[in-house]
Amino acid sequence: VLLLLNLPLVPLFAQLLRVPTWILFPVIFGLSIIGAYSVSERIFDVELLAAFGLLGFLMAKTGFPSAPLILGFVLGDAMERALRQSLMMSQGDLTTFFQRPISLVLLIAAVVILLLPLVSWFNRARVRAISEGA
């Protein structure tokens, strides 16, 4: 049904890109508030929307990428459930994550990826200290 509706409406959707942002932002903001309130008819949901909107604005202003945060919210629940399930299957034994070669390689890759910014920061600090001492 979406395919049948979207094909003839593609030109209309393309025209939405020409709407000025000063018109588009208040419309999106209003629809977001209405959508957040209409789910459970609680003002707390609207306050939560405002808090996360402020967090996103501050992240954009300070240069933090928002994609990892969104991925964390979307995938975090499933990953936590899978971790809990695997720990229950292994009766709480954490070594089960290191016994298979694939999981060991993935865990090592994750640790390396997490440590790369720290290593590059130390290298920059070392080069800076050497250049200041010379």
Report the pLDDT value the prediction gives residue 88, as an integer from 0 to 100: 94
Report the pLDDT value the prediction gives residue 38, as an integer from 0 to 100: 93
Residues 104 and 90 in one domain: no
Q: Kindly give the confidence (pLDDT) of every residue in the chain, 134 residues in length, as a single tens digit, with 9 standing for 90 and above.
A: 878 888 888 888 888 888 898 998 899 999 999 999 999 999 999 999 999 889 888 988 998 888 888 888 889 999 999 999 989 999 988 888 888 899 899 999 999 999 998 888 888 888 888 888 75
Q: Which of 45, 64, 83 is the last residue of a domain?
A: 64
Q: Quick one: tokens of 86?
A: 């695997």
Residues 1 and 25 in one domain: yes
Residues 90 and 103 in one domain: no
Phi, psi of 121 (to 5 degrees): -65, -45
- Give the residue numbers spanning the domain of 27: 1-64
